[in-house]
Structures are given as structure tokens and as C-alpha cells.
Structure 1
Amino acid sequence: MARQILHQRCLSTFLFRRTISTAAADTLRNSTTIAPIPSPPEPHNSNPRTRTPLVKQFETWLENLKPGFTPYDVDEALRSQSDPDLAFDIFRWTGQQRNYKHNSTTYLTMIQIAVSGKRYQHAETLVEEILAGACSGSIPLYNSVIKFCCGRKFLFNRAFDVYKKMLTCEDTKPNLETYKLLLDSLLRKFHNVNVCYVYLRGVKSLSKQMKASGVVPDTFAMNMIIKAHAKCHEIDQAVRVFRDMALYGNVPNLYTYCYLIHGLCEKGRVDEGLGFYKEMREKGLVPKGSSFMILICSLAMEQRFEDSISVVFDMLNESMSPDLLTYKTVVEGLCREGRVDDAFDVLEEFRKKDGFMNEKTYKILLNGLHYMN
């Protein structure tokens, strides 16, 4: 008898959320004509031919979830649902049953289902419940919540609320993934120099806390710290972090050197930027096009044209082409130094080497040299 009551209660809840009954639809269609004669409600039709696929799915779940179910059983039931709304109904109904309470596993599964199904409002509600202490936390659960909050602009502060909650729990201290998620979310805020300085304090705080808690950063985490300092023109600190990479057994990669080259050139320390460029080339790493061009322009502006031209040819050998401004900085810089013949010769060499230079770009550069001459 209890089983039948449970069945009817779940089914009625599901049908109320999903469909409009046929009797209600008929009443709505006939309301403008003849009022129907009231009649008692028909009993539930258990004929499988008249049940919808969603009702069958709900009933199947009901059969599988036996009385006295555990969080493990609920987790299996949630994962078996293809409909995120149905999964949320299951999650809510089970949470209201006596002698049962959701744990970190079921909350984690439900958040993952809600986010993947783009039910962001459900996910936001679950986040608030977790912060309120609805379940015992776990590192995977908190990291999942932080990742979701970092992806939503208006939940940015909530991510750090979760981080603070992790710090207060002995069993859920932040790990490397936690710090990388938070560092990445801060770096997305680095739109201009003024904003960079505001959020750089957060990067420094996370870096200190990571070291204090004994979390060993990897290359990705240290690259983000280097990028944050380089963006804010705190290049000495960026280089210091670069030197510390060896202490943690991390190997600098392409992005490490590119962040340093950009920061050093923007700070006017071109010679050091060229040194890091040569170091990365010796390791077989190829800079990004933007790193090539900022180094070329910086060298040309300091009248170091031989080094600048050498980097241009290096870039061309990697099947990358400088933009018009970079070319103009080099060839017109030679003209300003009185090396007009060298400028024309170099332009012809660039044209031969650069398969991407079109006729329009070549004529603009050539006309600019004639005008300056």
C-alpha cells in the first residue's frame, strides 16, 4: 500500500511539472461553447500504450529506486537521466524524504547535470545551498562550484566565498586545481593597466597562500602569475617567478617566454627581452607572432636594426609574416638613420622571403621610402 501511495505521489508531481492533462486541455477548448457536465476524475490508466515516454521513464526510475535508498542509489538515478529537469525533480524529491540527506557526491552530480544541461538557475540555487551548509563539502564539489562561478560574471565573488569556506575546513583545503581556477578568473579581468593593478593584489595573495599551504604550482599556474606581473609592468617580480620555476621542477614553455618578452619590451628593457628570445630559440621554441613583432619594433626603435632584421628573417622562416606597421618601423627607421640604400635592399629581401606580402603592402612600403628619401 505504501509503495502504491509513493508511486502515485511521484507520478502526480512529475505530470504536474511536465504536461497539461487532457481533461484540462478539453475544458480550455470548450470553455467558449458549452460548459461540460462535472464528472468524477478517471482513475490512473496503467495501460502502457497510453503512457508517454517521459511517464514511462519516471516510472522506471521509481521502480529502480527502492525504499531505504542511499546517496549512492540517488547518484546512480541522477546519472541515468537524460533530462536535466527530471534529474532535478528526482534530486528534490529524494532530499525531502525521511531518514535521507544528500551528500557531496549527489550535489556534485546534480551541479554537473545542471550546468551541462544549461539549467544555470538550478545550479545557482545549488551553490547557495552548498554555501549554507546543506551538505558536507569535498574538494571536487567545491572546485566544481568555483569553476561554475568563475564562468558567470555576476558570480565572480561567490567563487572566492567558496575558496574562503575551503580554507576553514581541515579536510577540504584548496588544491592546485582550486588555485588555477581562481588565478585564471582574475586574469580575465586584466583589460587595461588600471584594472590590472586592482586584481594583481588578488594574484599575489593567492600566490602567497599557495606557498604557505604547501601546494606545489605547476608550469601553468606559474605562467599565470608571470603574466599578471608582466601585464602590470612589475617585470622584476615576473623574472623572479621565472627563476623560481626550477625550484619546483617546472620547465618554462612557449607562453612563459612570450609573457616575459612582452613585459620586458613594454618596460623598455629590450636587451633582456632579446636575451629571453635567444634562450627560447635555443630550446627549439617558436614565439607567437605578436611576440616576434613587439621584439622587432622595440629593437628597431632603439636603432638596433641588425638584430631587428635578423628577427624578421627568423619570423619569416617560421612561415609567419609581420604586419605593415612592423615592416614600416624597420625600413623607415633605416631611412631616418640615413641608410636609405640599406632600407631599399632590405625591403626587396623581405618581399622575396615573405610569401604573404601582397602587392598593396609592398607599394605602401616602397612609396613611404621614396617619400622619406
Structure 2
Amino acid sequence: MKSKGIKPNAATFGTLLAGFYAEEKYEDVGKVLNLMKEHGVSVGVSTYNIRIRSLCMLKKSNEAKALLDGMLSKGIMPNSTTYNHLIYGFCREGNLEEAKRLFKSMVNKGLKPDSHCYFTLVYFLCQSGDFETALRFCKESMEKNWVPNFSTMKALVKGLASISKVEEAKELIKNVKEKFSKNADAWDEIEKDLPQ
């Protein structure tokens, strides 16, 4: 690029950062950040999001959270994407309490969680057996017309039934059938299997 007189931009450096994180070449990450300064490319929220996402993919969510804290201390405001990456990372590492804290923090900052954020929480909460909290997030999501996929919803329904929340499970099935009539037969089968 240099020899052709093409000036690198934030996207160029973002690609380099993601690549070096993927290969766990942290020393090179530092070099890229220095190159950004040399070329007058500011480190903004999108650069932080690339770094946070990369660390979360490597199951280094605590380090990613430290980057969030660094952003805030520099006056760089995170966006919902920042939080989505962190919530996914902590869920994937089994730290659902931290994921829920981050969700609350995001909402308190006036940022709006997207469907992916809700689906991630519902899925991992079901995996951990916290069906009541999963139901709360699922209901919030469905109020926005976002419904988790069939297998996640099935896990939630069966999980609710397993903790004697059969009425809640049936109500959930009813709501899903209203939104997706094409899956009604599959839901009828699942409902038949629920304890009466």
C-alpha cells in the first residue's frame, strides 16, 4: 500500500488487528496500534469492537472487559455491538452473572440490545438450567417480535416443564404458535408431551 501511495484507514488496521488476534500474535497487535497513531488514524469504537470481539472469541472475556473499562476511561462510548460481543463472550465462558450485569449496564446507558443479544442469553441460560431468567429474556425479546430459534424455544419449554412451570411453558407455546403457524404441528407434539 505504501509503495503505491495508498493511505491505510481504520478498516485496513481493523483487518490487521483481527488477523493478529486470531493468530494470537499480541505483540503485533501493539505494533498495529502504534502504526495507527503514526498514520493519524484514531482508535474509535469500531477498533475497540474488533479487539473486544477477538478477545471474546479466544475466551479472554475478562481481558475484553478491561478494554471496555479502558474505553470508558478515555471517554469513548461503547455501542450495543460492544456489549453484544462481551455478553456472548461471557456466556460462552459460562459466566452468566457477568453477562447479565453487562446487559443491565448496556440498557442503563440507553443502548438497545438487538435480537442476537437476547437469543444468546436465552440459549446459554437454558444450557445452564436457569429457565426462569431465560423465560424473562425470552418474553422481552418476543415483545419486540424477536423469537429465538425452534431448538432454543423447545429447550426453554422443556426446561420450564422440568421445574414445574408447565403453565408458563404452555403459554410460551401458545405465543409462538400465534407468531409462527407453520410450526404449529411440531409445537402440538411438544405440548402433548408436557405433564398435565
TM-score range, shorter chain: 0.7 to 0.9
- Aligned residue for 1:226? 52
Write the distance in 2 (CA, Å) between the matches of 1:249 and 1:203.
25
User: Does the 8 Å contact 1:296/1:309 carry over to 2?
Assistant: yes
Write the distance in 2 (CA, Å) between the matches of 1:206 and 1:268.
32
User: Does the 8 Å contact 1:297/1:326 carry over to 2?
Assistant: yes
User: Does the 8 Å contact 1:217/1:248 carry over to 2?
Assistant: no
Q: Cα deviations across residues 186-216 of structure 1 (Å, max 9, x unaligned)?
A: 53x59xxxxx641553663346636986975
- Aligned residue for 1:322? 148
- Aligned residue for 1:209? 34
* CA-CA distance at 1:350 after TM superposition: 4.4
Assess, with a 3 A threshold, how the Cα gap between structure 1 residues 239 and 271 changes in structure 2: closer, same or farther.
same
| Pairing 1:1-373 to 2, within 5 Å after superposition | 130=3, 141-143=5-7, 146=8, 177=9, 180-187=11-18, 197-199=22-24, 201=26, 204-206=29-31, 209=34, 217-351=43-177, 357-371=179-193, 373=195
User: Does the 8 Å contact 2:22/2:54 carry over to 1?
Assistant: no
User: Does the 8 Å contact 2:160/2:168 carry over to 1?
Assistant: yes
Amino acid in the other structure paired with 1:254: S
Please report the RMSD computed on the Cα atoms of aligned residues, expressed in angstroms. Answer: 3.0
User: Per the alignment, in what secondary structure is the counterpart of residue 23 of structure 2?
Assistant: helix
User: Per the alignment, in what secondary structure is the counterpart of residue 293 of structure 1?
Assistant: helix
* CA-CA distance at 1:311 after TM superposition: 1.1
Q: Cα deviations across residues 244-300 of structure 1 (Å, max 9, x unaligned)?
A: 012221001011011101111111111111111122222332223222111011112
Assess, with a 3 A threshold, how the Cα gap between structure 1 residues 200 and 183 changes in structure 2: closer, same or farther.
farther
Of 298-307 and 273-282, more deviation after overlay is shown by: 298-307
* CA-CA distance at 1:335 after TM superposition: 2.1
If the length of structure 1 is used for normalisation, what is the TM-score?
0.46
Q: Cα deviations across residues 103-126 of structure 1 (Å, max 9, x unaligned)?
A: xxxxxxxxxxxxxxxxxxxxxxxx
Write the distance in 1 (CA, Å) between the matches of 2:86 and 2:122.
15
Amino acid in the other structure paired with 1:205: G
Q: Cα deviations across residues 207-230 of structure 1 (Å, max 9, x unaligned)?
A: 663698697521111111111101
User: Does the 8 Å contact 1:203/1:225 carry over to 2?
Assistant: no
* CA-CA distance at 1:326 after TM superposition: 2.1
Structure 2 gaps, min length 5: none
Assess, with a 3 A threshold, how the Cα gap between structure 1 residues 278 and 361 changes in structure 2: closer, same or farther.
farther
Write the distance in 1 (CA, Å) between the matches of 2:107 and 2:188.
31
Structure 1 gaps, min length 5: 1-126, 132-140, 147-176, 191-195
- Give the share of equivalent positions with the same residue, in percent: 20
Write the distance in 1 (CA, Å) between the matches of 2:143 and 2:42.
38
Q: Cα deviations across residues 160-204 of structure 1 (Å, max 9, x unaligned)?
A: xxxxxxxxxxxxxxxxx35x52223453x59xxxxx641553663
User: Does the 8 Å contact 1:332/1:369 carry over to 2?
Assistant: no
If the length of structure 2 is used for normalisation, what is the TM-score?
0.82
Higher RCO (C-alpha under 8 Å, 6+ residues apart): 2
Write the distance in 2 (CA, Å) between the matches of 1:291 and 1:200.
29
Write the distance in 1 (CA, Å) between the matches of 2:95 and 2:127.
12
The structure that has the greater radius of gyration is 1
User: Per the alignment, in what secondary structure is the counterpart of residue 153 of structure 2?
Assistant: helix
Amino acid in the other structure paired with 2:72: A
